[in-house]
Structure 1
Amino acid sequence: LTGEGSPYYLFHPLVPQRLYESFPNTRLIVLLRNPVDRAISHYYWEVKLGYEPLSLEEAISQEPERLQGEVEKICSDGTYFSFNHQHYSYLARGLYAEQLQRWMQFFPREQFLILKSEDLYCNSAKVVNQVFDFLEIPNYILPTYDKYNENDYPQTDSSIRQKLAAYFQPHNQKLTQLLGEDWSWGIPEFSSDLTQKTRTQSLLTSVTSMTKVDYESAWDNYAKNWQSTNSEEVYIGDEWIGVAAGAASSLAEYEALIEQKFIAPYIQKHHQVLEIGVGGGRTATLLLNYCDRLVCADISQQLLNATQNRLGNERVSYVKLDGLTLDGIAPHSLDVCFCYDTLVHIEPRDIFNYLTRIPALLKGDRLCLFHHTNLLSELGWKKFLIDWDKNLLGKRQGTAFSLMTDTIMEKFLTHLNYEILHKDTESVPRDCVWICKAPEIRSH
């Protein structure tokens, strides 16, 4: 068997047809790297070669102008070489779905083996043998798996990474739809250190095989059991009345607190609002009295159904979440993200993941409300002492309370460039509520 490798082949618009006309039975092995990391690495490689005089942010912003008309020239003149197309295509080369679709116009899907670069970095022997299996040759373990062309470069500003993540999110979603498996690459990375990146990506790509908090099943089961054991309640979720949190002594009192403290002062009639973790729709019902449109999102389909039965479909839409992404919600389509009585159940790493994704969805006021538990409060510590021995060895039930503090949340928010407008540890004494403004993520 004879093989050849060139990353530019995937991107060049004329290569698929040329290869098909000469070698239609070729087996095609495609390595796709997180497009955020790929774009940054590509930029610093061009800097190292002496081809790129601009800063990273300037290079990204000038890419459309640099590439304008180049594809048309390539396609109209088969001998034309475009330096800009090959060297300054930092964003364009990360749009994997459209490149693969171009190739699949000529080659059938079964002739492709499509892999994540991060899997090759982290588990080289396994992935190389996947290639051998695809080529129908015997497996073989090499003594070493050396790295070539590795490039060291400075840490990239987190705001640039967020902008890149927001830009690539819908394109990654198209790739997921095209290939029928998850290509979201998990949470955006904030370190340029290759070892750290590959370690984190390894965790993300193997998440389905690891023990994890199953939020979805836990809340689906909660909804099913509620129907049979708490049928005297009018709506699911109304049993959470804030007593244990020191906030209220009845449902009416708790709803009044939420409305007067956290909704009426902030939500305006023109606002398009996203509520993450809508539950049974209690706070959604209150929000709908103040906003123009409401997007109800939850990991539990059972709870989404309950909320839809409660609110209907007028000025309301519903999005089923996967626990890792906010796919299904259009970028820059909302003014407010409201998250009350939800983060109290979510682990800190998952909270941080959501915080990285929310800014790309917001426009206008970019207002956010986040409510979470505070282990360092008196009631929070009492809750911890009650629950700690029921959630050991890294396992916990999805409806349990998370080990979160106001200090950790403040670190998360400031690291991700949220503007903190107000911190409230008094209205709900066990917990903490933040009013923030998300960083602006400009659309490209």
Structure 2
Amino acid sequence: MPFNAEQIFGQVPVRPMFILLIPISKENSKWRHNPVVANEIPLIQYSTSVRVVSLLESNETDISPKYRLFREQGLHPVRQLPSALVIGVKKGGTRALLEFIRIHPDVRAAGSEVHFFDKNYHRGFQWYRSHMPPTLEGQLTIEKTPSYFITKEAPRRVQMMNPSTKLLVVVRDPVTRNVYADIEIPEEAQETTQNDPLEEYTQITEEAISDYTQAASKKPEMKTFEEMVFINGTVGSIVDTSWGPVKLGLYYKYLTRWLKFFPLSQLLFISGERLILDPAIELKRVQDFLGLKRVVTEKHFYFNTTKGFPCLFKSEGHSAPHCLGKTKGRNHPYVNPVVLQRLRDFFRPFNMRFYQMTGINFGWA
């Protein structure tokens, strides 16, 4: 029996929600004061062959009244292999990106990291599909596993699944990467309500490297950061490139592998710093890249003055305002500024090489 989707939408009442919060807007200078330069080199807006049909006017799940009405009309959601992947980098901001983009009505995302292309590839594509969310025609399926970016076999495996797969890579300064483990705000940031969020961010990033921080919080007897990052454990010695956090920061190396299997036009590089400081700008680029209507805008975010971090008015599975995760409140060990400068000097040529490959100057010092 023919039906009109607009008529179906009209059958579901919309309940207004009144909340007094601080929205992100052009007038909110805190969100515009941003020295992080991610666009000094013009960005190319890539075209896409993904066909998207807008089905919903707001964020809904497959158990919502609107979806039930579709099923009553004989339409049933089906599980599809993802047409877009968030492949990295680890703790660069991938979780925030997924939470932000999944509020788009035409996007459905796997609920957790599936690790198919690195750890579970032997289980086969049917197994992978079974871990995807049900979607209706025109909806886009996306999956996030940050370790894909550094997995040697992942580019070839993804290409075998679908050579047209869209790849999203969130990167941040390799020296201060992971300061907010999994985009969770340290206790220091929560206690400050008066400072500019950018100043708070800069202050904390100068004091911690979170790959080390996470491990040190669990093992107090762990070596000092200097002992971990330098071969002889002293500032005057050579940076230990075999240490995991250092290796992961060599972005150009891993990108080289992906470019052997995918053209640059199928990769979108997102600034992890800008994703925190002005999420609407980065989400605009993401939606364009995926061929989506620009639904996620500044109106979806508000600035939490307690956390110093962007939060959502509403997100998938949450009808009320929602911030990402619960703060762990880990205390960050002090890292000598001389050590940080040594690391910046070490990463600088590799960062420049990455800028040249992507065509983007991320402005890392």
Q: TM-score, normalised by structure 2?
A: 0.41
Report which of the two has the higher share of helix: 1
Flag the structure with larger Rg. 1
More relative contact order, 1 or 2 (CA 8 Å, 6+ apart):
2
Q: TM-score, normalised by structure 1?
A: 0.34
